[in-house]
């Protein structure tokens, strides 16, 4: 049903409705719903049991997702928005479009306690600098050591990229008022700042820098999908900033029961077991069989840093000022 055999038909017609099944519309970011992300497997698993048609709608990245929901307002067709993170949830909650998730969050396997009653996590990860073990056998051991070193790094622009914003929050959470000093120290390490994660990671794989800002789980992709053990994430003494990805239910949904059913499904085995090797993040609930082989080789940060969602907008704006000031010198 998902793929039209005739291209011209795809130009003219919408996907024909499945025979009168109720439709659950989930807005998410592009890479979740792409053919290479978790979307296809999640859709198949949910449709097996729900007696419904689950439709993913991709809307850029997390920030674009929130912008789209804001543009659509109460008229939105979304029943669920999946793919915001804790840097965005305060702004999302402020729209008043979301309602309580209604699930029991006590079974979540997160490094931090989860108390938000509107948004429910589906996966999480630690930001980290990834390097090639051969090219850089002894990476710096902290943000400060990195700033003092002459190791070259690639980062993303916080204004257009989620990981880029993550690093901003990471430096802020670890150093507070000293963040400007760290950024000044980092400025000569930065080879360049890219629009998004894909560009920076692509440049890193081309050998343009020693390290790239990514996730602690990135080496698992190379190990599992490419059988390439050469990549590693460097553990930093300050701790690692967390990205917690969440979903929320729209208050105005016309499918409240289905939406509840999906939220419950989201933290169940069938959804969670897909996450590690499609989204390359940690599942919010460890599957029964444990994490896939290869995840045990990843570094385990001792300290999980995260700025509370309600403080994030104010911290973010101040941190951006600091960042721009330090790097525009």
Q: Which residues bind another protein (CB under 8 A)?
A: 2-4, 7-8, 10-11, 13-15, 30-31, 33-37, 39, 56-60, 63-64, 66-68, 70-72, 75, 77, 91, 152, 157-160, 187, 190-199, 201-203, 205-209, 218, 221-222, 225, 280, 320, 323-324, 327-328
Q: How far is the CB of 154 from another protein (least distance, A)?
A: 10
Q: What is the distance between the terminal CA atoms of the chain, rounded to a whole angstrom?
A: 54
Q: How far is the CB of 36 from another protein (least distance, A)?
A: 4
**Chain Cα centroid distance, residue 288:** 23
User: Residue 141: what are its φ and ψ, rounded to 5°?
Assistant: -105, 5
CA separation for the pair 29, 231 (Å, rounded): 26
Q: How far is the CB of 34 from another protein (least distance, A)?
A: 4
Rounded to the nearest 10 degrees, how much is the dihedral formed by the CA atoms of 299, 304, 309, 312?
-90
Reference 213, options 134, 301, 146; nearest CA is 146
Give the chain's largest Cα–Cα span. Answer: 63
Q: How far is the CB of 4 from another protein (least distance, A)?
A: 8
Specify the residue, 56 or 129, whose C-beta has the smaller distance to another protein: 56
CA separation for the pair 124, 112 (Å, rounded): 11
Specify the residue, 69 or 120, whose C-beta has the smaller distance to another protein: 69
Q: How far is the CB of 33 from another protein (least distance, A)?
A: 6
Specify the residue, 212 or 267, whose C-beta has the smaller distance to another protein: 212
Query: Is residue 231 a contact partner of residue 132, using CB atoms and an 8 Å limit?
Result: yes
In terms of Cβ atoms closer than 10 Å to its own Cβ (0-12, 13-18, 19+), residue 320 is middle
Specify the residue, 128 or 267, whose C-beta has the smaller distance to another protein: 128
Q: How far is the CB of 164 from another protein (least distance, A)?
A: 10
Collect all residues with Cβ–Cβ distance below 8 Å to 94 and sequence separation of at least 6: none
Which residues on adjacent β-strands are paired with residue 208? none
Specify the residue, 176 or 207, whose C-beta has the smaller distance to another protein: 207
Specify the residue, 169 or 267, whose C-beta has the smaller distance to another protein: 169
Specify the residue, 37 or 301, whose C-beta has the smaller distance to another protein: 37
Q: How far is the CB of 109 from another protein (least distance, A)?
A: 24
Helices (H), 128-274: 143-148, 162-175, 179-186, 197-205, 218-226, 256-266, 269-272
Percentages (nearest 5) of helix, strand, coil residues in the chain: 40, 20, 40
Three-state secondary structure call for residue 211:
strand
Specify the residue, 85 or 157, whose C-beta has the smaller distance to another protein: 157
Query: Is residue 24 a contact partner of residue 262, using CB atoms and an 8 Å limit?
Result: yes
Q: How far is the CB of 147 from another protein (least distance, A)?
A: 15
């Amino acid at each position: 049903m998902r793929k039209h055999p005739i291209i011209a038909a795809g130009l003219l017609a919408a996907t024909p409705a499945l025979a009168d099944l109720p439709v659950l519309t989930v807005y998410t970011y592009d890479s979740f719903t792409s053919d290479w992300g978790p979307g296809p497997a999640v859709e198949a698993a949910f449709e097996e049991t729900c007696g419904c048609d689950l439709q993913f709608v991709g809307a850029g990245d997390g920030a674009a997702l929130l912008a789209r929901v804001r543009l659509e307002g109460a008229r939105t067709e979304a029943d669920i928005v999946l793919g915001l993170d804790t840097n965005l949830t305060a702004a999302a909650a402020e729209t008043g479009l979301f309602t309580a998730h209604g699930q029991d969050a006590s079974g979540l396997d997160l490094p931090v306690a989860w108390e938000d009653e509107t948004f429910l996590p589906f996966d999480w990860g630690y930001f980290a600098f990834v390097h090639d073990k051969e090219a850089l056998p002894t990476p710096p051991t902290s943000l400060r050591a990195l700033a003092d070193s002459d190791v070259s790094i690639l980062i993303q622009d916080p204004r257009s990229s989620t990981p880029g914003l993550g690093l901003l929050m990471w430096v802020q959470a670890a150093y507070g008022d000293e963040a400007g000093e760290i950024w000044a120290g980092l400025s000569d390490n930065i080879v360049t700042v890219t629009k998004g994660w894909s560009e920076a990671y692509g440049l890193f794989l081309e050998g343009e820098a020693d390290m790239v800002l990514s996730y602690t789980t990135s080496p698992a992709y190379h190990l599992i999908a490419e059988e390439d053990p050469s990549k590693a994430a460097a553990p930093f003494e300050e701790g690692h900033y967390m990205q917690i990805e969440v979903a929320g239910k729209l208050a105005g949904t016309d499918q409240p029961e289905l939406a509840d059913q999906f939220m419950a499904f989201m933290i169940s085995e069938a959804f969670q077991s897909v996450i590690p090797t499609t989204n390359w993040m940690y599942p919010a609930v460890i599957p029964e069989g444990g994490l896939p082989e290869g995840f045990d080789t990843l570094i385990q940060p001792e300290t999980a840093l995260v700025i509370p969602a309600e403080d994030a907008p104010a911290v973010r704006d101040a941190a951006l000022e600091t960042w721009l000031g330090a790097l525009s010198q």
